[in-house]
Structure 1
Amino acid sequence: MAIFIAILIAFFGASLALVFTIGQSRKRKFIIWGIANMVAIGPFLSFAIGITYAIIKGDGWAGLLMWVLYPIIFVIGLIQLIIGIFLKKSSDKNNYKYH
């Protein structure tokens, strides 16, 4: 039941981020998805994967996989957030430059 709730929360976070990014600029999309990855998707998805693997493996220590997965997902979200913050719009239409 806990695995299902964690997957449900991660799915809800992803769908909420999708709703908030509809019609937004590319910069805003990077920022929203970065925050969603760090706060809503990362912890719950890593929990669900770690506990599922521990149940399949039959060893409680295998659940520590979530301690490895969460920092990876968090860093990916942090990179998305930083890209969104430092993405500058150039003078051309729809052309973005990293600044």
Structure 2
Amino acid sequence: MKNSKECIDACLACMIECEKCATMCITMGGMEECLKACRDCADICTLCAKLCARDSQFCDDICALCVKCCEACMAECAKHGEHCKACMEACKKCAEACKM
């Protein structure tokens, strides 16, 4: 099984950065796709952390989905400026932790 502590920590950190990035997207306007990607990623990261914490039978499945969401969020954030950088970094770390 995956290193759940590392995965949980990375998911929670990613959720926080995605929420911050989504808030910036709202205030800046015109960044709907980034906003959607960040919100989806934040929600999946939260769910992933919860399922890993309870050692769910679906942990591997949700981790795979989390990787996919993190990669999609990174790709969207890469289209934007400096305010998306922390989100991209958190997504990268989360995807790596969830692949382990």
Same fold (TM over 0.5): no
* TM-score tier after normalising by the smaller chain length: 0.3 to 0.5
Which structure has greater strand proportion?
1
Tell which structure's C-alpha radius of gyration is larger: 1
What is the TM-score of this pair, normalised by structure 1? 0.44
What is the TM-score of this pair, normalised by structure 2? 0.43
Higher relative contact order, structure no. (Cα contacts within 8 Å, ≥ 6 residues apart): 2
